[in-house]
Amino acid sequence: MMRSETASTHPRMGCVTWAKRYTSYMKILRALRPAFAVAILATNAFAWSGRVHMDINRAAALNVPDEMAAWRDYAKLLGLESIRPDLWKGADETEGPRHYLDAERYRPLAITNLPAVRARVRALTGSDAVENGLLPWIIIEVENRLAQAMAGNDWEEAARYAAALGHYVGDAHQPLHLTEHYDGSRDPNGKGIHMRWEEEMPFFYWKETLIRPGPAEYVKDPWSAVLKQLDQAHGYYRELYAADKEAREASDEQTDSPDYYRAIWKRTQKIFVGQVSDAVTDLSSLWYTAWIRAGRPPIPTPPKHVSDQSIWVEKPKQVINESSFPIVVICGAAGLLVVLLILLSRRL
Ligand SMILES: [Zn+2]
């Protein structure tokens, strides 16, 4: 099961006439298609457009409760870092399945009955293939790491985990990330629906100001809450297929025409805006929950930047090389001697 995505960002629509701007955008899109194709092959998985990921992280940072208000200063950093997990795919072929869940492949289990311990999946379904997607387990793992980093006052690590968590939570709200029919396989002419809905449609119609999040709240049972989010998102994918079919018919199968995008936005706008808004609510709730679990530590000013290394790559352990070994031994022995002398002198 191969997936592809781009991590590109797009300019906003301005106030010039829509038709004029549309024509130039389509020219740019067409010109960029070869680049998209290269990125698709290189990154091997779909995702929301980069701009939507950025908007989700930024809006979620601003949505935390007042007692965590210092976190709002992280909004810019977390927005910029939101697309990192997509970039990690280039160097790490195991990254792709962290961004989706092919829910149908976990049958007979419903999404809401998936076990929190992944090792139990095989016993319950007869399969635990990584290619079926790891999204809910990854969200919980990163949430736990975030709480630990906050508790340890390591705010660079906390920012890195928080940004990555935002990406995965964002993906968890994209209906086509939760089904094995992620790119048109339910319709003979549906191929391309994934890119059209999550990348090209928001290119023309999405605005950050459409986000309407609910209040961030402490999440008592993150596993159940995440499964509920996934189940809700999965429930929308058939409607996206119906909307795509209707929009293709309305545009005479011209899927790069204004008629197509006008029709599919009209029918699915509520789902799109609702899912992005829910992603913001759920992400800010998970960040708030991690902070409470960490003991509500004081939040310092954000780091200027964070490491671009994948959070799934182990940090290199400090190695004592052979040339430094005698120095380490001599310093250690000298330290011990000093301690012994102090103790002896106190006794005398
Ligand atoms: Zn992704």
- DSSP assignment of 273-313 equals HHHHHHHHHHHHHHHHHHHHHTT-PPP-PPPS----S-TTS
CA of 258 to the centre of ligand 1 (A): 27
Same domain, 83 and 128: yes
CA of 87 to the centre of ligand 1 (A): 9
Q: Which residue has the tokens 């004592």?
A: 320
Residues 293, 56, 162, 179, CA torsion sign: positive
Residue 126 in any domain: the answer is: yes
The CATH number covering residue 221 comes to 1.10.575.10
Instruction: State residue 15 phi and psi, 5-degree precision.
Output: -105, 10
CA of 335 to the centre of ligand 1 (A): 51
Same domain, 68 and 119: yes
CA of 84 to the centre of ligand 1 (A): 9
Same domain, 165 and 32: yes
Task: Give the SS3 label for residue 133.
Answer: strand
b (16+ CB within 10 A) / e for 41-77:
eebbbbbbbbbbbbbbbbbbbbbbbeebeebbebbeb
Same domain, 197 and 338: no
Same domain, 241 and 338: no
Instruction: Report the DSSP beta bridge partners of residue 101.
Output: 133
Residue 289 in any domain: the answer is: yes
Same domain, 185 and 332: no
Same domain, 84 and 170: yes
**What is the pTM for the complete model shown?**
0.79
- Write out the chain's pLDDT in tens, 348 residues: 335 443 333 222 222 333 333 444 444 544 544 444 444 333 434 556 789 999 999 999 999 999 999 999 999 999 999 999 999 999 999 999 999 999 999 999 999 999 999 989 988 888 888 999 999 999 999 999 999 999 999 999 999 999 999 999 999 999 999 999 999 888 888 899 999 999 999 999 999 999 999 999 999 999 999 999 999 999 999 999 999 999 999 999 999 999 999 999 999 999 999 999 999 999 999 999 999 999 999 999 999 989 999 999 977 655 544 444 455 455 456 666 665 665 665 554
Look at phi and psi of residue 169 and say left if phi exceeds 0, alpha if psi is from -120 to 50, else beta: alpha
| Helix 135-151 × helix 222-234 angle, to 10° | 140
CA of 124 to the centre of ligand 1 (A): 27
CB 227 within 8 A of CB 114: yes
Residue 8 in any domain: the answer is: no
Residue 80 in any domain: the answer is: yes
Q: Which residue has the tokens 């079919």?
A: 245
For 296, the domain range is 18-316
Same domain, 160 and 259: yes
- pLDDT of 15: 26
Residue 12 in any domain: the answer is: no
Tally of domains in the chain: 2
Same domain, 94 and 225: yes
CA of 171 to the centre of ligand 1 (A): 6
- pLDDT of 217: 98
3-state helix, strand, coil in the chain (%, to 5): 65, 0, 35
Residue 327 in any domain: the answer is: yes
Residue 2 in any domain: the answer is: no
Residue 5 in any domain: the answer is: no
Same domain, 230 and 338: no
Same domain, 169 and 232: yes
Tokens read off for 5: 């995505």
